[in-house]
Amino acid sequence: MKVTTCSIAVGMIVGIGFAGAAQAAPAKIGAIGDSISAGMDTNDDCGTLISCASQIGEDRGFSWTTGYSMGDSLRNRLGFSATVERQKNGARWDDAVGQAQGILSAGGAHTVTIELGGNDVCRDLNATLPTKAEIAGLINQTFSTLINASASTRPARIIIAETPDVVHLRDTMKNQKNFAFETCQDLWDLNTDALEVNTCDWGFFDFICDFFDLVIEDYVEPLIDVMLAAFDVDFPCGYVLESGSNATKRTLARALNNDINDAIAAAVNQWQGVNGVEIMFADNVYEYQFTVGDVSQLDCFHPSRQGQRNLARTIFAGANLGTGGAVQDSAAPVMLASPPSSAWWVGSGTYRDIHFDFNTNEESSIEVWSYNCDYGQWFFEGTTNESPEAHEFRMTGFNYNLYWQTFVRPTDRNANTGVWYSTGCI
């Protein structure tokens, strides 16, 4: 539902600071929200079990709303130097009033952002979903808490976003790789029979990492415990994401997703302008077709840093705060340097090895093939299970009396595929 909001005051606020009679609350930006606003698992620039496990958790500097490290965050684009952060992992709409009260108790904020609803849709597998009327009541209570607060703490502006399309998330990510599991679906199901881990990458001592890769399956429980502790809830969204769910449940979840967004739109119309508070509704978030690169490889669920950036741009544009929409990655990855053929080969004697490392210009996985030049035979060697910019592969057992050729091709997280790189027959 499209809602037209008044944006006359925006140019004054952005252009000349926070002056004007409507400004009473401190020049801060406050946030009501869930793990998306908290930057959960946003920093997914990693390629091994050890490096990725160490990055599970909040990355608030890259939050779309209050992030200080991301130029596209609303905090930075609207010129706020101070924040009142009440967003919390696992929050639902029934937490919103408490978060609003927390912002007011801290002295208030000129602008308050609200992004909730994902965890109302993402219930446990056998839970009962809330009704539209229940969610609408909570939305109105939240608006009432903020808008009817004292003039010294009441926000001048509320920016509220739609709930993203959770079922689309599942459809986009279910078959993608995870840093520890064969697919995102295996992660969501916590299927320990589908582990595919790269424990570490220690160059010359990589044989130690290979040993860890073999035994890690026996010690996967600590990893799962770390992930669940970081979420502060059970692994989220079984109602939609788990294999044990079904089409009926996902249809009900999508219907609730739309009901929540309709309820937000109705509340915006009801409360717009009351006590001089301007409400700006980003009604383009559900429709935004995020890609694999927008989703964190740590949990296949939360926005990556790219996703946070695109969410910030989408909300900024949708709330009529200005231009600057999401940027889609359509460029193919490239190898930063193509080495000479001799650089790929190591070892000596009758059998030789191929062992090479190189960098790509963006996070990519590498498809590796070998070709017997004498007999015209192709052999698929595999695909690297990492997705950083630094890559390494090793193949052994090539007959030195024959000519061989090796081909590698990078594919980035948005499924853009690069060109083939090869050694030539040597």
What pLDDT is attached to residue 29? Answer: 96
330 neighbors 372 (Cβ within 8 angstroms): no
Q: Does pLDDT of 421 surpass 50? A: yes
377-383, strands of its sheet edge to edge: 377-383, 364-372, 404-412, 421-422
Per-residue pLDDT band for 425 (boundaries 50, 70, 90) equals: confident
pTM of the model: 0.71
The residue type found at 2 is K
Q: Give per-residue pLDDT as tens, 115-165.
A: 999 999 999 999 999 999 999 999 999 999 999 999 999 999 999 999 999
Q: Does pLDDT of 274 surpass 70? A: yes
CA dist 409 and 364 (Å) reads 9
What pLDDT is attached to residue 395? Answer: 73
Counting Cβ atoms within 10 Å, is residue 327 exposed (0-12), middle (13-18) or buried (19+)?
exposed
231-251: average pLDDT: 82
What pLDDT is attached to residue 38? Answer: 96
Ramachandran area for residue 22 (φ above 0: left; ψ -120 to 50: alpha; else beta): alpha
Lookup: tokens for 91: 């929050």
Percent of the chain at pLDDT above 70?
Answer: 77
The residue type found at 404 is W
CA dist 321 and 103 (Å) reads 22
**SS3 track for the chain:** CCCCCCCHHHHHHHHHCCCCCCCCCCCCEEEEECHHHHCECCCCCCCCHHHHHCCCCECHHHCCCCCCCCCCCHHHHCCCCCEEECCCCCCCHHHHHHHHHHHHHCCCCCEEEEECCHHHHCCCCCCCCCCHHHHHHHHHHHHHHHHCCCCCCCCCEEEEECCCCHHHHHHHHCCCCCCCECCHHHHHCCCHHHECCCCCCCHHHHHHHHHHHHHHHHHHHHHHHHHHHHHCCCCCCHHHHCCCCCHHHHHHHHHHHHHHHHHHHHHHHHHCCHHHCEEEEECCCCCCCCCHHHECCCCCCCECHHHHHHHHHHHHHHCCCCCCCCCCCCCCCCECCCCCHHHHEECCCCEEEEEEEEEECCCEEEEEEEEECCCCEEEEEEECCCCCCEEEEEEEEEECCCCEEEEEEEEECCCCECCCEECCCC
The residue type found at 318 is G
**CATH topology of 8-176+180-189+197-318 equal to that of 341-422?**
no
Q: Give domain 8-176+180-189+197-318's CATH architecture.
A: 3-Layer(aba) Sandwich (3.40)
Whole-number mean pLDDT of the chain?
81
256-271: average pLDDT: 98
Window from 84-98, 282-296, 322-336 with minimum mean pLDDT = 322-336
Task: Supply the CATH classification number for the domain 341-422.
Answer: 2.60.40
What pLDDT is attached to residue 242? Answer: 93
Could you state, in order of their start, the residue ranges of all structural domains in the chain? 8-176+180-189+197-318, 341-422
Q: Give per-residue pLDDT as tens, 323-345.
A: 555 555 667 888 776 666 555 66
Window from 70-84, 286-300, 412-426 with minimum mean pLDDT = 412-426
Q: Does pLDDT of 239 surpass 90? A: yes
Window from 156-165, 181-190, 394-403 with minimum mean pLDDT = 394-403
What pLDDT is attached to residue 67? Answer: 96
Lookup: tokens for 325: 């929409």
CA-based end-to-end distance of the chain: 63
Per-residue pLDDT band for 74 (boundaries 50, 70, 90) equals: very high
